Amino acid sequence: MKEKRSPANLEASWKEKDLVSGKVSDAMVMIMRTSGCCWAKTGGCTMCGYRQASLNVVTEDDLNKQIDEALLKYKGEPFVKIYTSGSFLDEKEIPIPIRERILKEFSGCERILFESRPEFVKKDVLATLPKTATIALGLESSDPDILKISINKGFTPEDSRRAGLLIKEAGLKVRTYLLLKPPFLTESAAIEDAVRSVKFADEFSDEISINPLNVQRGTYAERLWRAGELRAPWIWSLAEVLRRSSGNVNARLMSSPSGGGTSRGVHNCGNCDKEMLDSIERFSFSQNIKDLNTKCACVKDWQTYLDSERILGTAADLERGFDNDLALGRERDG
């Protein structure tokens, strides 16, 4: 029997590491249960499963109880990240009194981060936020066609650029999220799109987080994945984007993949996944490209995979539906 999810409880919370004033520090993360993302209610993004964290009815009293729960778990971490199913600055999702209470309760933090769609980023709203705030923008891609067709994002790259510049003008920080390998893109095309998107986002971003596609339940991306029409990206591809972008932008480059090392998340052969993901984490803090110098024989499989996609002209998962060796263009022994 499925457990009933209470609107008075947080969806999840945990502790992790992130940068505060250039130093690796403790961070508390909480995901609030809200009435949901306004865009998800009209269709939503092809890869986003965060609607699973929303409920039809969540009252201000419920949200206050979630804040109470968060405060019991808060142990003075200098960085607090507050995620919702959609936009923290959407008054219908997070009413102004709730937003004000959250900002007051965590006013002693050195950094506080939350997400918003660009349409809710306005000068008068920004003026009410503390200078410790970092606003995360889900740009995903700088290509308007990819945003419209592959992701169904509901806004344009210029909308994110406008919001980012407004945030910077207000003296706040911007963390921009980019999606590595949206649906319908081959691995090669996804790498090139992410590299271009990093350059685009650098103008208005303090941090750029490369988020490899994680196949979340109940999404259009999951339908493609189950049909063998989509493979989550290789960790080699993520490392390639970071390597090619490093030194060419002013923003901090980072990645903290969800579902890394699983078939739904960014993965390689399985033998090197943990080592590779650890190297990505080290680079995210150090910005030292040498931290990405992990080796594994499966890099040749990745390179062959890229070549095979180009030859076949498909973004389908070449590791499923066919014999793996044949799909990668190798002859079987014997």
Q: What is the pLDDT, as a whole number, of residue 1?
A: 35
Q: What is the pLDDT, as a whole number, of residue 323?
A: 44
Q: What is the pLDDT, as a whole number, of residue 42?
A: 85
Amino acid symbol at 303: Q
Task: Say if strands 252-254 and 173-180 run parallel, antiparallel, or are unpaired.
Answer: unpaired
Residue 324 inside a domain? The answer is: no
Q: What is the pLDDT, as a whole number, of residue 53?
A: 64
Q: What is the pLDDT, as a whole number, of residue 5?
A: 80
Residue 320 inside a domain? The answer is: no
Residue 2 inside a domain? The answer is: no
Residue 149 inside a domain? The answer is: yes
Q: Find where tokens 């419209």 sit.
A: 148
Q: What is the pLDDT, as a whole number, of residue 184?
A: 96
pLDDT in tens, the chain (334 residues): 345 789 999 999 999 999 999 999 999 999 999 998 989 888 899 999 876 667 888 999 999 999 999 999 999 999 999 999 899 999 999 999 999 999 999 999 999 999 999 999 999 999 999 999 999 999 999 999 999 999 999 999 999 999 999 999 999 999 999 999 999 999 999 999 999 999 999 999 999 999 999 999 999 999 999 999 999 999 999 999 999 999 999 999 999 999 999 999 999 999 999 999 999 999 999 999 999 999 999 999 999 999 999 999 999 999 875 544 444 444 333 3
Q: Find where tokens 């390998």 sit.
A: 181
3-class SS shares of the chain: helix, strand, coil, % to 5: 40, 15, 45
SS3 for 322? coil
Q: How many CB atoms lie within 10 A of CB 122?
A: 12
CATH number at residue 149: 3.20.20.70
Q: How many CB atoms lie within 10 A of CB 49?
A: 18
Nearest to 74 by CA among 24, 118, 108: 108
List, in sequence order, every beta strand (DSSP E) within the chain. 12-20, 23-31, 79-83, 111-115, 133-140, 173-180, 207-212, 252-254
Q: What is the pLDDT, as a whole number, of residue 255?
A: 98
CA separation (Å) from 171 to 91, 117, 256, 312, 328?
22, 19, 26, 49, 50
Q: What is the pLDDT, as a whole number, of residue 219?
A: 93
How many domains is the chain built from? 1
CA separation (Å) from 209 to 44, 47, 179?
21, 17, 9
Give just the sign of the alpha carbon dihedral 6, 258, 260, 52.
positive
Range of the domain at 114: 12-301
Nearest to 143 by CA among 181, 86, 187: 181
Task: Say if strands 12-20 and 23-31 run parallel, antiparallel, or are unpaired.
Answer: antiparallel
Residue 319 inside a domain? The answer is: no
Nearest to 37 by CA among 207, 176, 153: 153
SS3 for 30? strand
